[in-house]
Structure 1
Amino acid sequence: MSARVFIVYYSLYGHVHAMAQAVAEGVRDAGLEAELFRVPETLPDEVIEKMGAKSFQKEFQKLPVITPDELAKADAIIFGTPTRFGNMSSQMRSFLDATGGIWSRGALAGKVGSVFTSSGTQHGGQESTILSMHITLLHHGMIIAGLPYTFAGQTTMDEITGCSPYGASTIAGGSGERFPSANELAGARYQGRYVAWIARQLAGKQNEFLS
């Protein structure tokens, strides 16, 4: 049975977007279609312009906006968010806070959940951001998938790099000047492929457990 893999994310300057594209490549490498969505923006246009993000946002906002109910159509959901003081962005938090309806129905129980992120500095909260999102996914009954150590790139000592066993990540730099490295993109592709592989094994079987 085929499985549907959603990549649901928020990106302000494009770093998470670049990682999402690599995650999607990994899903496709595993033989599944990657469906990309963005969560609703909560910042006014004038604020986005003052933050210097208007140029990228013109492209990013072409992506379809997902609704909480649509999440239930996926067999696996890979969430992406920038780090905000060691936690997810307010846009992602606002979206997840609106998923009470599908939570009450157990609509995500037994589905695969995974997270990738971006932070401004090497120790800027990448791991805590992913782990804090895992809490919400566990409340939904999702099966958490991280980035296994079989992706050897996360143990490299040759360069500064993101990625951890919790999920792929990138370091954007204090001014957003650094975009994902080849190693970080490789980690994102690996995570996408890994999640797609798990989703294929579980596709259509959630109801067996829930019935």
Structure 2
Amino acid sequence: MPPENAYVLVLYYSRSGQTADMASQIGRGIARVNGIEARIRTVPPVSPDTDSSLPAVPDHGAPYASKDDLAHCAGLAIGSPTRFGNMAAPLKHFLDGTGDLWLSGALTNKPAGAFTSTGSLHGGQETTLLTMMMPLLHHGMVLCGVPYAEPALNETTSGGTPYGPSHWAGTGEQLPLSDHEKSVCQSFGERLGTLALKLR
């Protein structure tokens, strides 16, 4: 049975913690919107073996997402580090298992968008965001980006794109989210939450 409270699902995979930090900032933006909440969930890493190799509940961080979390959301934000200009395999693996939701149209007309983190400044932020949007379009979702009305988008010297929030993590010591990147994440979350209520 669907939950009574409307929520935006912030679904991500994170290996070094930067994408998880972005998910938290997006959640803060969603929390600015009265009448909707953020539900932050992650996906487990994939393994080459065929046996269950992880506990059902992670040791730390956000809980693992269930298909019900996705089916009943009012909006969706998906996040991943870049992998050769595309999303990481664990998030793709989760989305590949949502064919039944596609057949039923469970996500049709719900707003959705993407966010990413890269090691190098030109390491595929925009291609990752664009390719992450393909499953969202197949599900019939309404894409949400970041308009240039958000001042941080014009001022950032690291991450942040109109296609969705992004973060430059660096290839050595991991860089924390900049103030501009946080602003873009929060603006994106607020916009997604507002659209989710309007389209609900």
In structure 2, list runs of 5 or more residues that go unmatched.
49-57
Q: Is the 8 A contact 2:112 2:141 kept in 1?
A: yes
Q: Is the 8 A contact 2:9 2:69 kept in 1?
A: no
C-alpha distance 176-144 of structure 1, shift in aligned 2 (>3 A)? farther
CA shift at 1:85, angstroms? 1.0
The 5 Å alignment of 1:132-171 reads 132-156=131-155, 160-171=157-168
Query: 1: CA distance between counterparts of 2:172 and 2:108?
Result: 39
The aligned length equals: 187
Query: 2: CA distance between counterparts of 1:40 and 1:67?
Result: 11
- State yes or no: 1:41 paired with 2:39: no
CA RMSD of superposed structures (Å): 1.7
Q: What's the counterpart of residue 109 of structure 1?
A: 108
Query: 1: CA distance between counterparts of 2:24 and 2:83?
Result: 21
- 3-state secondary structure, aligned to 1:59: coil
- State yes or no: 1:177 paired with 2:174: yes
Query: 1: CA distance between counterparts of 2:97 and 2:30?
Result: 27
Query: 1: CA distance between counterparts of 2:111 and 2:101?
Result: 15
The 5 Å alignment of 1:25-104 reads 25-31=28-34, 32-43=36-47, 58-60=59-61, 63-104=62-103
Q: Is the 8 A contact 1:8 1:77 kept in 2?
A: yes
- 3-state secondary structure, aligned to 2:114: strand
Summarize deviations over 1:130-186 as a string: whole Å, max 9, x none: 100111100000000011111121112xx6211111000100101352121111011
Moved over 6 A (4+): none
Query: 2: CA distance between counterparts of 1:169 and 1:176?
Result: 18
Percent identical among aligned pairs is: 37
For 2:20, give the aligned amino acid.
H
Of Structure 1 and Structure 2, the greater helix share is in: 1
In structure 1, list runs of 5 or more residues that go unmatched.
45-56, 204-211
CA shift at 1:39, angstroms? 1.4
